[in-house]
Structure formats: structure tokens, C-alpha cells
Structure 1
Amino acid sequence: MYDAIVVGGRCAGASTALLLARQGHRVLVVDRSSFPSDVISTHFLWPHGMSYLNRWGLLDQVTAVTPTHTVIDIVNDGIPLSGSVPTSLLREHFRDLHGDDSGVVQSYASVRRRVLDQILVEAAAKAGAEVRTHCTVRELITEDGRVVGVRGRAADGQEFEERARIVVGADGRNSFVARTLDLPRFDERPRCTFAYWSYWSGFDPGRGQIHRRGRLGCAVVPTNFGQNMVLVWGPSEWAREFRADVPGNVQRALDFVSPELGELVRTQGTREERIYGTLDQSGFLRPLHGPGWVLVGDAESAKDQCTAIGMTHAFRDAELASAALHRWLTGESSLDEAMAAYEGRRRSQNSAAYYDYVCTLSEMRPYRHDELQLFVALRGNQEETDRFIATHADIAPVSEFFQASNLFLLNDAAKESSAGYSVFDDFAATSRTYQQNLFA
């Protein structure tokens, strides 16, 4: 009998297992993959994601092999912003969510999953969790309406059955645990992005860059092995035309969204791997917990990749869920009380507002005139620029930055500062060009 069986051994699962094992609980982790290995992922960690690694004593292993930066460039329709997530907001975020702000760091990084997941799995095993790879869960064991264990097939082909006080579903947006329990999806957002990315060597982009123009976006960030991850994305309704010539359209999208980045990739870059892609980025929520089970990470809340928040949120869920389960497993609270506390933090008003923010961005509508004026106004206000970046990264509450009084002050300032930006010269004509299909 285990205290917890964790289905899924990557960001959400390995982290949950690591934290529970360190608290003295008997934990089994099962994953159908072997490690190290990659998985479809934009593999970006915002500063609070890096802070979790630091809180868990794993950050040095990541930074030893991964470039890190604190300042990021965001360019919307040619309007550049540069800033970082303020340490003060990071500390406030951790105090509100976890009750302490230990381990906060201001850096971000793009960490390949073959690097990060291996570090997490090894840390979970070192903490005392039993890790089984190449292990497929085929069935949830239920008794009297409660999940009490799993059945599956081990790496050697042998069938196994294990039982636990709780089963943690940490197996991604297509979660076997969720599907087996026939959990409903709610607040579904079918409009989303498609995304394609690969890895180029041969040039130095400096720090991370995020670009938007019209209905397309692109990003570049240094990652492991002396390479740069280059990503392009757009509205899902353009996916079919984009797929007709993925390599060519990746370059065309780069040239359109950021001619400088497009030129850099074309003239100096060497692509080191195939181009990866994902088409289903639709957002949805699932129930968080039930009799004998709990979900963490994308299994519970799947969001579009456009803000690259997935791994950071997986770490958040791991810390929240493991803390709640520890209180129950040690008898400090009932399971209902522990899960109510977990749900209260995960279903907060701020979480709902950020989910809506991501889903709205993922529609990839061209920015309105007032939104572009806002970006221009931010250029003259570093404090508000940093707060905008913190809001985009889910550190500062969306409702605070986008409240009417704040936007009124910023847009009022923008009236005088928007002159000289060509995007405002003939906004109606510019907007029409954005509606045209780039790949016609």
C-alpha cells in the first residue's frame, strides 16, 4: 500500500512525487516513457517556475546547462517593450499562494524536456519515490465508488496491480486518469493557436524575444546544447494552409512578424532538428479532485501555449497539491478539507481571470487601436511595463493591470506618445492587411 500513486512522471508528476517523498510519504510514480526523453512542449519557465526549482534545491542543475536571463523583449506590431518581472511582485505572489517567499529568483529559461524531466525524475527517486518507467497504466481500481489503485503493464511485459490512499493524475491534457473517470470538460475554449518550432544553432539572439504582428506571433529564446528555440504560431483556422509547406511558411511567418529575426535565421542559422508542431491548443478545465483521486497540471487545466505558462503552472500545482495531501496524510486535516483548500487556491478569482486572458490571446485577433496605444504608453513607464510583463506571466493579477482606472491613465499618456509610430498613420488600412491570408 502506497500513500500516493502518481500517474505521469514529467513536470507535474515528478514534482508532486518529489515533494511528497521528501515529506516522508511512500510514493510510486509510473510513466510510459523512459528518461531522458523529449515531449511536445514549448518548455519555457517564467521566473516563478525557476523559483520553484530553487525552492526545491534543483535550480543549480538547470542553470549549469541552460542559459538564463531576466529581461525579455516583447514587440507588438513594431512597438518594442523590454522589462522583467519585479522581485517584489514575485515575493507577493508566493506569499499569497504558498505562505512564504523563500527561493524567489528573477530569471527565466527555456529548458529542453530531456534535460528538465530527467532532473526532476532523478530528484524524486533520490527523495525516496519509487519510479517505474516504460510502465503503462491500463485500469484504475475502484471500490465502493472510490479510486484505490491502478493496474497496468510493466517494462518487462508483466501485469501489475498497486494500491494507494490517493491516485494523482499528472498525465497531461489527454490524461488517462481523467478519461477513465469520464471527467467532464467545462469552460471549453475551442479557438486557439497552432504552433511550430525547432532548434537553430549559428546565431546569438541575446535574451528572449516575443513578437506579434497582426494574427501571427514568433519567439526566440536560447536553450540547451548551444541552440535557440524558434517558435511561430497563429490562429487555428490558418493551420491547414500553414501545413501545406511548413518549412517555407515558418520562414515566411518569421519574415512577416519580425524581419530582423527572419533574416538572422535565414542567413546565419542552421536547423539542428526536425520542425515540431501542435494543432490542438484548445483550453478547458476539469474537476480537480474526487473520491480517491486528484489532478495536477494540464490534466486539470489545459491552456494555449501563447503565454508559455504550462510548466510553471505544473510546478505551482505540484506544490499546492502535495502540501494539501501532506496535511491529510499526516492527519492534520480530513481529505475533504485538504482538497477544499487545494481547490480554493486553484479556482481563485485570479486563476479564472488569467485563464480567460490566455484564451482571449489565443484567438490571435489583431490588436485594436487602443491596445496599440497602450503599448506605446508603456514605453515611457518602466514600472508599468514590468507590471504588464508580470501580468502576462501570471504573477500580477490581470484585473489589477487592466482595471479601468489604470488603463485610462496609461491611454491618456499614449495620446501624446503615439506620434511617430507608422502603425497609427493609417490604422484602418493596416488592420485590413492583417486580415489577409499571409499564405494565399
Structure 2
Amino acid sequence: MYDAIVVGGRCAGAAVGTHLVRRGLRVLVVDRARFPSDVLSTHFVWPHGVSYLNRLGVLDEVLAVTPSHEQVNVVNEGVALRGGVPEELLRNQFRALHGDDDGITTQYLSVRRHILDKILIDNAVRAGVEFREGCTVKELVTDPDGTVVGITDRDGNTERARVVVGADGRNSFVARALGVAKFDERPRCTFAYWSYFDGIPVGEAQIHRRGRLGMAVAPTNHGQTMVLTWGPSEWAADFRADVEGNFHRALRLVSDEVADTVAAATRQERFYGTLDQAAYLRELHGPGWVLVGDAESFKDQCTALGITHAFRDAELAAEAIAAWLGGVDRETAMAGYAAKRRGQNAAAYYDYVCTLAEMKPLRHDEVQLFSILRGNQGEIDRFIATHVDVAPVSEFFDPSNVFLLNDTARETSDRHAVFDDFEATYLASHTNPFARTEAEAAR
């Protein structure tokens, strides 16, 4: 009899298992995959995610094989901003969420999942987790009243526990077996394609946006650089008709400089892609079960927060589960987890990401905001913190704050080529550059 069985052993599952055993609980983690193995992921980790790696005790191991940096370059319509998430805001967030700010770091990194997930699993086992790889769950075991009390695998082995944690991703078996429906679904999203290149001298991550297209470049493992491009889902089918050609075409449309650099580099792997990034929420918990990570909620990759939020939710969920199993009734024990996961700030950020994922061209006033940030490093850093869910969206984008930024701007907002013939450029950016003729589509 276990205290907890965790279904899914990657970022959310390995992390929640580690936090639970550290609280004195007996934990079994199962995963149908064998490790090390890869999984479809854009695998960027923001400073709060890296801080969670530090709290888990694996950051040094990750940094031994993964490059890191402390600034990012954000370029919107050619308006370049370079900055980082302020340490003070990170500490404030961790104190609010967890009651302490241990392990805070301002580093960024992009770590391949076959490396990260293996490190996390090995760390969980060292902490005391029992781990079974290659173990596919066939069904959940429930009491007559519907309370989940265990799992049965495809070999017929049954294990029982006081709680089952679903950390098994977007297509969560646990959620499907329980009939936990999605809600607040947002079907408008991005498609994304990426690969890995040698010969790109980039030391810091770059994130670009122009028209309805986005692009990111980040140093990763094996001395390689990940190059990613994305756009609105309604362009996905046309893009997919010629992935390599359209990949380089998209880079060219966003940044000539980056496109030239990538064209001169050597691609080392195939292209990876995802066409369905539709966002959703699910209930957080029920009788005998809890969901964490993508099993519980999912947002588009355009802000690259999946791993970071998985680590956050794992620690929050473990704290609540430990209280529940320690004698506090489930609703009371999980109330804090629910409030932090579904509070006003969380709802506002969900809307923010889902709106970004529609990839509408930036309006004149939106580009103007980025332009007036130039020369104001404190506000650049606060914008980056807001963009990645460290500072509240409502505070930065409040009209009174935007007016204040404009009044105190250190440069005039019209000093940029993007504002030359802006209306024509804005209208042209709605046109699908990957559209095929009827004859091409018929072939």
C-alpha cells in the first residue's frame, strides 16, 4: 500500500514524486516510456523554472551539460529589448506561492528532454521514490463510492494507494479514465516546427515576432542550437506541405539576419512539429485523485512555460497532498492549491497566453509600447517578468501604467522604421505567405 501513486514520470511526475517522499510519504511513480527518451517539447526553462530545478537539487547536474544565460532578447516588429526577470520579483513570487525563496536563480536554459527527464527520475529514485518504467496503466481501481484507490497495469498487476496523481500529459489516461472533462477550451492556437543546428554562435535566447509569425533561437545541449518557428493554426496545413522550405521562408520573413545565420548552419536532426496547441483546463482534484502539469491544464507554447509551470504545480500539489494525507479533509487541504492555480492572476495570464496564441498582428499601440520601453531597463525587465508569469499581467498592462510609461519614455516612440507605412504593413501581414495555389493543393 502506497501513500501515492504517480502516473507519469517526466517533469511534473518526477517532481511531485520527489516532493512527496521528502515529506515522508511512500510513493510509486510509473511511466510507460523507458528512460532516457525524448518527448515532443520546445524545452525552454525560464528563471522560475530553473529555480525549481535548484529546489529539487538537480540544477548543478543540468548545468554540467547545458549552457545557461541571464538575459534574453525579445524582438517585436524589429524593436529589440534585452533584459531578464528581476530577482526581487522572483523572490516575491516564491514567497507568495511557497512561503520561502530558497534556491532562487536568474538563469535561463534550454535543456533537451532526454537529458532533463532522466536527471529528474534519477533524482526522484535517490530521494526514495519507487520507479517503474515501461509500465502502462490499464485501468484505475476504485471503491464502490467511486474513490480512486489504485491502478492496474497491462500485465494485470494491481497496486493500491491513498491517492493517485495524474501527471501523464495532455492526453492523460487518468483524466480520461475518470471522465474529467476539459473546460474553457481555446481552440485558436499556434503550430510550431523546430530543429537543431551546429554552427550558430548564439549565447543567449532570442525571441522574435513579426506579423503573424514567431521565431526563437536558443543554445541547448550537445553544442547545438534549437531554432523554432511558429504561426497561426489556420496556416498550419499550408506550412506542412513543405516543412523545410517554409521553415526557412518563415525565418526570412521574421529576420533576415537570423535567416542568413541558420542558412549557413548545419541541421543535425529532423524537423519536429506540433499542430495542436489548443488550451484547456480540467478539474484539479476529486475523491482519491489529483491532476498536475499538462494533465490538469495546457497553454500554447508561444510563451514556453510548460516545464516551468509543471515544476510549480508539482511543488504546490505535493504540499496540498501531504496535508490531505496527514489528516486534513481533501477540500480544505486542496483549497490553497486551487486558489494559487485558479486565482485571479492565473486566469488573467491564461487569457494573455491564449490571446497571444491567436498570433494577430501587433497593433500600432502595441508596437508603440515596446518602442517606448527602449532605454528603460527596469521596465524592460518588468515586461519580461510579466510575459512569463512572474509579475501580474493586470499591473503591467493597466492603462494607467501604460500612460505612465509613455509620459516617462526616454525615447520618442516614432523613432523606428516599423512605423513607416505601418498600415500597409499591418494589412499585408494578414496574408498567408505559405498559401498554395489550387493546383499545388490538388497534387
| TM-score interval (norm. to shorter) | over 0.9
Instruction: Say whether residues 1:213 and 2:210 are aligned partners.
Output: yes
Task: Count residues with an aligned counterpart.
Answer: 434
Cα offset, 1:432, TM superposition: 1.5
Cα offset, 1:415, TM superposition: 10
Instruction: Say whether residues 1:322 and 2:301 are aligned partners.
Output: no
Q: 1:255 aligns with which of 252, 255, 260?
A: 252
* Contact residue 199 and residue 227 of structure 1 kept, 8 A: yes
Q: 2:176 aligns with which of 161, 166, 179?
A: 179
Residue in structure 1 matched with residue 438 of structure 2 by the alignment: none
1:385 match: secondary structure = helix
* Contact residue 373 and residue 415 of structure 1 kept, 8 A: no
Decide whether aligned partners of structure 1 residues 416 and 64 sit closer, same or farther in structure 2, where only a CA change above 3 A counts: closer
1:9-48 maps to which residues of 2 (within 5 A)?
A: 9-48=9-48
Residue in structure 2 matched with residue 297 of structure 1 by the alignment: 293
Cα offset, 1:328, TM superposition: 2.2
Cα offset, 1:414, TM superposition: 5.8
Amino acid at match of 1:395: V
1:124-143 maps to which residues of 2 (within 5 A)?
A: 124-143=124-143
Residue in structure 2 matched with residue 388 of structure 1 by the alignment: 383
2:82 match: secondary structure = strand
Indicate the larger mover: 89-98 or 409-418: 409-418
1:221-260 maps to which residues of 2 (within 5 A)?
A: 221-260=218-257
1:26-425 maps to which residues of 2 (within 5 A)?
A: 26-143=26-143, 144-153=145-154, 158-267=155-264, 269-331=265-327, 333-412=328-407, 417-425=412-420
% identical equivalent positions: 66
TM-score (norm 1): 0.97
Cα offset, 1:329, TM superposition: 2.2
State the distance in 1 between where 2:377 and 2:228 align.
Answer: 27
1:53 match: secondary structure = helix
Q: 1:24-49, CA deviations, whole angstroms, 9 ceiling, x for partnerless residues? A: 21111110000001100111110000
Q: 1:102-138, CA deviations, whole angstroms, 9 ceiling, x for partnerless residues? A: 1100001001000110011001111111100111001
Decide whether aligned partners of structure 1 residues 415 and 66 sit closer, same or farther in structure 2, where only a CA change above 3 A counts: closer
Residue in structure 1 matched with residue 422 of structure 2 by the alignment: 427
Cα offset, 1:145, TM superposition: 1.2
State the distance in 1 between where 2:294 and 2:259 align.
Answer: 32
Amino acid at match of 1:323: E
State the distance in 1 between where 2:428 and 2:354 align.
Answer: 24
* Contact residue 15 and residue 56 of structure 2 kept, 8 A: no
Cα offset, 1:413, TM superposition: 5.0
State the distance in 1 between where 2:406 and 2:192 align.
Answer: 32
Cα offset, 1:74, TM superposition: 0.4
1:101 match: secondary structure = coil
1:119 match: secondary structure = helix
TM-score (norm 2): 0.96
CA RMSD of aligned residues (A): 1.1
Cα offset, 1:336, TM superposition: 2.1
Cα offset, 1:435, TM superposition: 1.1
State the distance in 1 between where 2:45 and 2:187 align.
Answer: 25
State the distance in 1 between where 2:59 and 2:414 align.
Answer: 44
Cα offset, 1:411, TM superposition: 3.3
Q: 1:369-402, CA deviations, whole angstroms, 9 ceiling, x for partnerless residues? A: 0000000001121111000000111100101111
Q: 1:226-273, CA deviations, whole angstroms, 9 ceiling, x for partnerless residues? A: 000100000000000000100010011011101111100101x11111
Which runs of no fewer than 5 residues in structure 2 stay unpaired?
Answer: 436-443
State the distance in 1 between where 2:421 and 2:84 align.
Answer: 32
State the distance in 2 between where 1:425 and 1:335 align.
Answer: 59
State the distance in 1 between where 2:410 and 2:13 align.
Answer: 49
Cα offset, 1:420, TM superposition: 3.0
State the distance in 2 between where 1:427 and 1:230 align.
Answer: 28
2:221 match: secondary structure = coil
1:132 match: secondary structure = strand
* Contact residue 378 and residue 385 of structure 1 kept, 8 A: yes
Amino acid at match of 2:294: D
* Contact residue 214 and residue 254 of structure 2 kept, 8 A: yes
Amino acid at match of 2:115: V
Amino acid at match of 1:145: G
1:115 match: secondary structure = helix
State the distance in 1 between where 2:191 and 2:204 align.
Answer: 24
Q: 1:247-306, CA deviations, whole angstroms, 9 ceiling, x for partnerless residues? A: 010011011101111100101x11111100001100000000000000001111110000
State the distance in 2 between where 1:174 and 1:118 align.
Answer: 21
* Contact residue 69 and residue 203 of structure 2 kept, 8 A: no
